[in-house]
Structure 1
Amino acid sequence: MIPVKSTEEQRDDYTRAITEKWDEATSDQKRRGRDWYITAHELAVEISGGDAKKGAGVLAALSANKSWSENCRLARKAFTEGIARGHVRDALTKADRIMQGTDPAEVLPMKLKTGCFYLCIADPENTESVVIDRHAHDIAVRQTYGQRERGLGAFQRYNVLADCYRTAARQIGEVPSKVQAVTWVAHIERSHTAGAV
């Protein structure tokens, strides 16, 4: 687990790992990563009948520990049926509240992954929010943790990595969420090729 109070040297190393992963990405991976949140935004608009914030909120609420395809299936089904199913009670309650009109920012943990996921889907050009999931973490620390605890529920630890992605994005000249998505695509596809995720 990375230190909550990482040194400047550690932060520089995490940032370097992110930019190196960006550099390793193929042009196709960069294209798909840059489009990732745009496509997710379009889905949010579609499933919610035109309310991007509501659609993004439900997608985010139902995202924990689900593949993207399963996340999409659950969110689409929730809007079709008018009630969320197929997840843990906390996620279902959040999704239902959002569908009933509660602002996602009142329901989701806005300074952690789920809230940031909502913000990036709602606005693919968001210049601040960064989704730090297990893959984003593993990219920055140059190590696949597998089932080991990463400690990303601690705001300070989460923010250390989010800041590193923002710094990498400034160096690259790109929106932080796009850097995260491109490196995520490159990491996932390399991991699948290597036989481990």
Structure 2
Amino acid sequence: MVPWSASEKQREQYVDNILTVWQCATSEQEQRGRSWYRIANELARVITGGDARAGAGVLAALSANKSWPQTCRLARQACETGLTSGHFGDALAKATVIAAGTDPAKVLPMDRKTGHFFRCIADPGDTDAVVIDRHAHDIAVGDIYGRRDRGLSGQRYELLAAAYREAAQRLGELPSTVQAVTWVVHTDRIAGTGTRPPRT
């Protein structure tokens, strides 16, 4: 059963929106997106002395409401010396137990962004995981929500993840690759650096 509550027309629009942003990628943006999770996986290995799964868990646990550079700094500190500040208590607690050896899948909400982020970093070849953050959401719905609530839990998360999987299937790509490339295009665009029109 398809895990969607939106109309067929709306679901197809989400897929079309994702594909449109994909087609706007420059070769440089595409390369950045394609390498994103591989580079994150290497970082996960470095900060834990070779355990990419644990490193991915720590990075994912500390990613909520933080920029990627902030997340990396906090994750390094959590793995090297421990972490008692710099984030919400829940995130700190999760990072601490993961760094101490608990399986991230037993700590993180695996059906939400944090769990999917962990999966994509731990295994960049994961054929199912899709990170739906605020940017991935806005790409799919074709609207920048700003501070409005996106409702990214449960059925809505899966609705959007399924749209990325469908777009990826049409392109012959991994869902995480489609998400990462479109994320790069979108974030460049909202930062005022994306200038290339869609490919035809």
1:124 corresponding residue in structure 2: 124
List structure 1 runs of 4+ shifted beyond 3 angstroms. Answer: none
Q: Secondary structure at the match of 1:82?
A: coil
Cα distance in 2, alignment partners of residues 103 and 57 from structure 1:
8
* Alignment partner of 1:86 is 2:86: yes
Q: Which moved more, 1:171-180 or 1:186-195?
A: 186-195
- Work out whether residues 56 and 118 of structure 2, in 8 Å CA contact, stay in contact via their aligned partners in 1: yes
Mark the CA change 1:33 to 1:194 in structure 2 (over 3 Å): closer, same or farther.
closer
Alpha-carbon deviation of 1:85? 3.0
Structure ranking higher in helix proportion: 1
Cα distance in 1, alignment partners of residues 36 and 79 from structure 2:
22
Superposed CA offset, 1:46-90 (max 9, x none): 001100000000000000000001000100111111335310000
Cα distance in 1, alignment partners of residues 83 and 48 from structure 2:
13
* Alignment partner of 1:180 is 2:185: no
- Work out whether residues 15 and 140 of structure 1, in 8 Å CA contact, stay in contact via their aligned partners in 2: yes
2:197 corresponding residue in structure 1: none
Amino acid at match of 1:29: Q
Q: Secondary structure at the match of 2:63?
A: coil
Normalised to the residue count of structure 1, the TM-score between the two structures is: 0.94
Alignment of 1:99-110 (within 5 A): 99-110=99-110
1:39 corresponding residue in structure 2: 39
- Work out whether residues 74 and 83 of structure 2, in 8 Å CA contact, stay in contact via their aligned partners in 1: no
Amino acid at match of 1:171: R
Alpha-carbon deviation of 1:5? 1.5
Q: CA RMSD in A?
A: 1.3
- Work out whether residues 33 and 181 of structure 1, in 8 Å CA contact, stay in contact via their aligned partners in 2: yes
- Work out whether residues 168 and 178 of structure 2, in 8 Å CA contact, stay in contact via their aligned partners in 1: yes
Alpha-carbon deviation of 1:100? 1.1
Unmatched tracts of structure 1, length 5 or more: none
Normalised to the residue count of structure 2, the TM-score between the two structures is: 0.93
Amino acid at match of 1:103: D
Alpha-carbon deviation of 1:194? 7.1
Cα distance in 2, alignment partners of residues 42 and 126 from structure 1:
15
Amino acid at match of 1:87: H
Alpha-carbon deviation of 1:24? 0.6
* Alignment partner of 1:6 is 2:6: yes
Amino acid at match of 1:128: D
1:16 corresponding residue in structure 2: 16
Alpha-carbon deviation of 1:150? 0.2
Alpha-carbon deviation of 1:107? 0.3
* Alignment partner of 1:111 is 2:119: no
* Alignment partner of 1:134 is 2:134: yes
Superposed CA offset, 1:101-157 (max 9, x none): 1100000000110000000000001000000000000000111000110000x2100
